[in-house]
Structure 1
Amino acid sequence: MWQLNSASGFYKAPVCKCILGASFISSVLINFQHQYRDLFVYNHSLIVGKHQLWRLVTARVVFLDVKDLLIGSILFYNFRTFERRYGSRKFMTQMIGFFLFGSVLELCAVHVCKLLQFNMEPLPSGPLCFIYPLFVPYFLDIPRIELGNVFGIPMTGKSFQYFLGLQVASGSLETILVAFCGIISGILWRKNFLKIQQLIGIPNVVARFVYSIFGRFIESSEPKDTVLPMGATLELQRQERMDQIEQQVLLQSLREQGPPYNPNQNGPGLFGALNDGIPLAEFNEGLRQRNAPAADPPSDEQIQQLVDMGFTEERVRRALLMSQNDLNTATNFLLQDS
């Protein structure tokens, strides 16, 4: 038997639950009530020419394209791990920052395209301005673990999300603009451009007031620990995946402490390889030297901090032991295994 514990659902992620729930329900309803469809079109000409600024809000709520609805919902659900990592108040502040940066960048990009005499249609509707900026921390903060190869291209546990994002962005010039502006928004937020993170912070009193009113409706219960029978092959695959995560972190230690390596030998490939060109004997020797449990048990404060993010205590203890009690590395273990 394999105890399969995962922070599934929207536990510790009420903001994602509200945004995704409102977007999904309203998108389904609008696709049956076509008389209201025009209110949710992201028409930049009406926004700028007739000052219908309210369209910047309504166009973020509803997916008018069914394909965007399905793929966008999957991506946003996967990115809920960032709300658990940052906390709901900080995550909501991020969403506001993404909205402000994205709106300005998109309107400027459309204006430039019109000056270049491109024939511009309305931009795609839906909360894409919240989804594409999250690819920035997803790329930079979540470790890449190679799972296999397709036509010689290394594939990682993150590749599926990248393919979904490319699927939406490749639809038209307008979707490319929205995706590009979203990624730029994520970079600007990460760099704290114009001190935006301090300018739009949500006060604690406001957060507590909102939670006191809507908390019981948006809060999700803690997931129960479920014991599921798993075949021996699946159990070994899961254990191997966790071992690969550990090796990825140990490899970073090798890079910082070990001898120089040749990046052209068995290089990282499109999505990153495991040994990044270090000779196999040297790589395995480094792993044997550093693959030892933590000298001290994890502290109660570290355990509680990760448990508050929605992970079970058993998984938290295991992740801390694997990461030598490094909190950031343990968090990456848990996020990758969610």
Structure 2
Amino acid sequence: MWQLNSASGFYKAPVCKCILGASFLSSVLINFPLSQYRHLCVYHHSLIVEKLQLWRLLTARIAFLNVKDLMIGSILFYYFRTFERRYGSRKFASQLIGFFVFGSVLELSAVHVCKLMHFNMEPLPSGPLCLIYPFFVPYFMDIPRIELGNVLGIPMTGKSFQYFLGLQVASGSLETLIVAFCGIISGILWRKNFLKIQQLIVIPSVIAGTVYKVFGRFIDSAEPKDYVLPMGATLELQRQERMDQIERQVLLQSIREQGPPYNPNQNGPGLFGAMDDAEDFAEINEGLRQRNVPAADPPSQEQIQQLVDMGFTEESVRRALLMSHNDLNTATNFLLQES
């Protein structure tokens, strides 16, 4: 059986490492030993617009003043580090700058409109939420939706947990809802290349190279080493079972669409109502035999290296390419689901 190996930590994600580390450290300091300086991180519309305290646009993004937002925001930003591996650190950092610009303009405009409508507005939530919510756009568009089961009749997918965390923060107040909505709009505008923003905001390679030479040894993370947990490791077994289920679903879906009829009444025991392994793989093998599907060609070294450069281990890359019949996009989606 394949082992579940995925790129972990901040390997090939130095920008996320720096931002998350700085945000977490500053949030802890500003909420506890340096609480007398909390007022400097308040995201107050009137002070920014009327008194031109534009520096607050930066200080209000540094630290979370709400502990719940700190924990959930850190989890989401850590998960979205997969996009830095996918885009590259330079393009990812340029994207964050674009999110900051769009988010700041949209948030201040939204608060101004709400005040014109006589809403009683509190300061907007502090913290780098404007860098987090835009990533729900590529997350929704690019990461495949794979159903894992049902809870009280509600379908649950591998993406449900992240959506739940995002909604948890956004539903806190009108102000957090505004920030979340503006963040999603920012993600859409960047994706649509509104006002040619992707060409306007590009970090020069000279600057990127200089920063890496100076700080690279401090922000680089070591390549994760493959390891196998003992059989009694419950978490690893659960993750392995989940990935096995995903692999079976992909193969069975292919057979349903192109092969012999599929009988939905063959569901048996399993964590997510999966069929028994013997019945499951018997159907797969029979479907492949009737379709005369030849064995997949081994992946090329160029394909392997391209995905390894994104931060994934070679073993997991080979497995993903075999599962996807050497399709790079499908293989990347498999790997992102593992991360």
TM-score (norm 2): 0.86
* Matched AA of 2:185: I
**What's 1:279 paired with?**
none
Q: Secondary structure at the match of 2:127?
A: coil
Change (3 A) 1:147 1:293: farther
Tell me how far 1:247 sits from its aligned partner. Answer: 5.3
Change (3 A) 1:124 1:184: same
Tell me how far 1:127 sits from its aligned partner. Answer: 0.4
Change (3 A) 1:123 1:252: farther
Tell me how far 1:249 sits from its aligned partner. Answer: 4.9
Change (3 A) 1:143 1:53: same
**What's 2:329 paired with?**
328
**What's 2:15 paired with?**
15
Q: Is 1:10–1:80's contact at 8 Å kept on the other side of the alignment?
A: yes
**What's 2:72 paired with?**
71
Q: Is 1:320–1:330's contact at 8 Å kept on the other side of the alignment?
A: yes
Change (3 A) 1:255 1:181: farther
**What's 1:147 paired with?**
148
Q: Is 1:2–1:230's contact at 8 Å kept on the other side of the alignment?
A: no
Cα deviation, 1:4-54, whole Å, max 9, x if unaligned, reads 422111000000000000000000000121221111110110110011111
Please state if 1:28 is matched with 2:28.
Answer: yes
Q: Is 1:4–1:225's contact at 8 Å kept on the other side of the alignment?
A: no
**What's 1:206 paired with?**
207
Q: Secondary structure at the match of 2:231?
A: coil
- Matches of 2:286 and 2:197 in 1, distance apart? 42
* Matched AA of 1:306: L
* Matched AA of 1:58: T
- Matches of 1:293 and 1:221 in 2, distance apart? 39
Tell me how far 1:241 sits from its aligned partner. Answer: 2.8
* 5+ residue gaps, structure 1: 259-264, 266-272, 275-283
- Matches of 2:76 and 2:328 in 1, distance apart? 26
Q: Is 2:13–2:84's contact at 8 Å kept on the other side of the alignment?
A: yes
Change (3 A) 1:307 1:293: farther
Cα deviation, 1:87-131, whole Å, max 9, x if unaligned, reads 101110110010011001001100110111000010000000011
Tell me how far 1:309 sits from its aligned partner. Answer: 1.3
**Pairwise mapping of residues 1-338 of structure 1 onto structure 2 (< 5 A)?**
3-32=3-32, 33-231=34-232, 237-246=238-247, 249=250, 288-289=287-288, 295-338=296-339
Tell me how far 1:3 sits from its aligned partner. Answer: 4.1
TM-score (norm 1): 0.86
Q: Secondary structure at the match of 1:221?
A: coil
- Matches of 1:322 and 1:206 in 2, distance apart? 39
- Matches of 2:287 and 2:50 in 1, distance apart? 66
Cα deviation, 1:120-156, whole Å, max 9, x if unaligned, reads 0100000000110011111111112222211111111
Tell me how far 1:178 sits from its aligned partner. Answer: 0.2
Q: Is 2:308–2:317's contact at 8 Å kept on the other side of the alignment?
A: yes
Q: Secondary structure at the match of 2:228?
A: strand
Q: Is 1:39–1:55's contact at 8 Å kept on the other side of the alignment?
A: yes
Q: Is 2:251–2:284's contact at 8 Å kept on the other side of the alignment?
A: no
Tell me how far 1:202 sits from its aligned partner. Answer: 1.2
- Matches of 2:296 and 2:304 in 1, distance apart? 16
Q: Secondary structure at the match of 1:138?
A: helix
CA RMSD of aligned residues (A): 2.9
Tell me how far 1:246 sits from its aligned partner. Answer: 3.8
Q: Is 2:11–2:223's contact at 8 Å kept on the other side of the alignment?
A: yes
Change (3 A) 1:44 1:286: farther
- Matches of 1:57 and 1:233 in 2, distance apart? 43
Tell me how far 1:292 sits from its aligned partner. Answer: 5.4
Q: Is 1:4–1:228's contact at 8 Å kept on the other side of the alignment?
A: no
Tell me how far 1:2 sits from its aligned partner. Answer: 7.2
* Percent identical: 83
Change (3 A) 1:297 1:60: same
- Matches of 1:118 and 1:334 in 2, distance apart? 45
Tell me how far 1:224 sits from its aligned partner. Answer: 1.6
- Matches of 2:330 and 2:184 in 1, distance apart? 25
Q: Is 1:23–1:62's contact at 8 Å kept on the other side of the alignment?
A: yes
Cα deviation, 1:141-172, whole Å, max 9, x if unaligned, reads 11122222111111111111111111100110
Change (3 A) 1:307 1:125: same
